[in-house]
Amino acid sequence: MTSPEPEQPTGGPLRVAVIGSGPAGVYAADALTRQRRVPVRVDVIDRLPTPYGLVRYGVAPDHIKIKGVARALRRVLEHPDVRFVGGVEFGTDLTRADLARTHHAVVYATGASVDRRMDVPGEDLPGSVAATDFVNWYCGHPDTELERFVLDTEDVVVVGAGNVALDVARILAKTADELRHTDIPQPVLETLAASRVRTVHLLARRGPLQAKFTAPELRDLLALPGADVVVDPRQVDIDPTAVGGGATPELGEVARAARTNLKLLREHASRERRGLPRTVRMHFWARPKEVLGQDRVNGVRVESTRLDADGRLTGTGETTDIPAGMVLRSVGYAGVPLPGVPFDPRGRTVPQEGGRVMDADGEVVRGDYVAGWIKRGATGVIGTNKSDAAATVRSLLEDAEELCSTAPAPVSLEEVLDERGIAHSDYEDWLRIDTAEADQAMELDRGERVKLHGWEAYRRVIGE
CB of 369 to ligand NAP, least distance (A): 22
What is the x/- site pattern for ligand NAP, positions 132-171, by CB under 6 A? ---------------------------xxxxxxx-x----
Q: List Cα–Cα distances, 194 to 175, 332, 451, in angstroms.
A: 10, 28, 19
According to DSSP, the residues that pair with 106 across neighbouring strands are 17, 368
CB of 165 to ligand NAP, least distance (A): 6
What is the x/- site pattern for ligand NAP, positions 213-232, by CB under 6 A? ----x---------------
Degrees to nearest 5, angle at CA 405 with 401 and 407: 120
CB of 58 to ligand NAP, least distance (A): 7
Question: What is the Cα–Cα distance from 218 to 259, expressed in whole angstroms?
Answer: 12
SS3 461: helix
CB of 220 to ligand NAP, least distance (A): 9
According to DSSP, the residues that pair with 286 across neighbouring strands are 304
Q: Which of residues 316-335 bind ligand NAP (CB under 6 A)?
A: 330-333
Q: What number of other Cβ atoms are within 10 A of residue 419's Cβ? A: 10
Binding of ligand NAP by 348 (CB under 6 A): no
Asked, as a colleague might, if the bond just before 249 is cis with ω within 30 of 0, I would say yes
Q: Pick the stretch among 98-106, 144-152, 374-382, 447-455 that binds ligand NAP (CB under 6 A).
A: 374-382
Looking at 206, 268, 278, 424, which residue binds ligand NAP (CB under 6 A)? 206
Binding of ligand NAP by 287 (CB under 6 A): yes
**CB closer to ligand NAP out of 113 and 186:** 113
Looking at 19, 31, 118, 457, which residue binds ligand NAP (CB under 6 A)? 118
Q: Are 397 and 389 in contact (CB under 8 A)?
A: no
CB of 243 to ligand NAP, least distance (A): 14
CB of 175 to ligand NAP, least distance (A): 21
Looking at 92, 314, 379, 406, which residue binds ligand NAP (CB under 6 A)? 379
- Cβ-closest position to ligand NAP: 162
SS3 168: helix
**CB closer to ligand NAP out of 385 and 440:** 385
314: enclosing H helix or E strand:
strand 313-323
E strands along 39-89, which residues?
40-45, 82-86
Binding of ligand NAP by 104 (CB under 6 A): no
Q: List Cα–Cα distances, 195 to 124, 185, 242, in angstroms.
A: 23, 15, 42
Looking at 170, 212, 376, 446, which residue binds ligand NAP (CB under 6 A)? 212
The per-residue DSSP string of 263-295 comes to: HHHHHHHTSPP---SEEEEEESSEEEEEEEESS
Q: Which DSSP letter does residue 344 get? A: B
CB of 111 to ligand NAP, least distance (A): 10
CB of 160 to ligand NAP, least distance (A): 3
Site size for ligand NAP (CB under 6 A): 26
Q: Pick the stretch among 143-151, 205-213, 293-301, 356-364 that binds ligand NAP (CB under 6 A).
A: 205-213
Q: Which of residues 38-77 bind ligand NAP (CB under 6 A)?
A: 63, 66
Looking at 15, 205, 283, 451, which residue binds ligand NAP (CB under 6 A)? 205
Q: How far apart are the first and last CA of the chain?
A: 50
In sequence order, which ranges of 119-252 are alpha helices (DSSP H)? 131-138, 163-173, 176-179, 186-193, 215-222, 233-236
Judge residue 240's burial from the number of C-beta atoms within 10 Å of its C-beta, 0-12 exposed, 13-18 middle, 19 or more buried.
middle
CB of 310 to ligand NAP, least distance (A): 15
Question: What is the Cα–Cα distance from 216 to 165, expressed in whole angstroms?
Answer: 14
CB of 227 to ligand NAP, least distance (A): 18
Contacts of 350 (CB under 8 A, 6+ apart): 108, 335, 338, 341, 342, 343, 344, 357, 370, 374, 375
Looking at 169, 302, 324, 378, which residue binds ligand NAP (CB under 6 A)? 378
**CB closer to ligand NAP out of 146 and 313:** 313
CB of 229 to ligand NAP, least distance (A): 17
Q: Pick the stretch among 210-218, 222-230, 304-312, 391-399 that binds ligand NAP (CB under 6 A).
A: 210-218
Judge residue 428's burial from the number of C-beta atoms within 10 Å of its C-beta, 0-12 exposed, 13-18 middle, 19 or more buried.
exposed
Which residues contribute to the site for ligand NAP (CB under 6 A)?
Answer: 63, 66, 118, 159-165, 167, 205-206, 210, 212, 217, 287-288, 330-333, 378-381
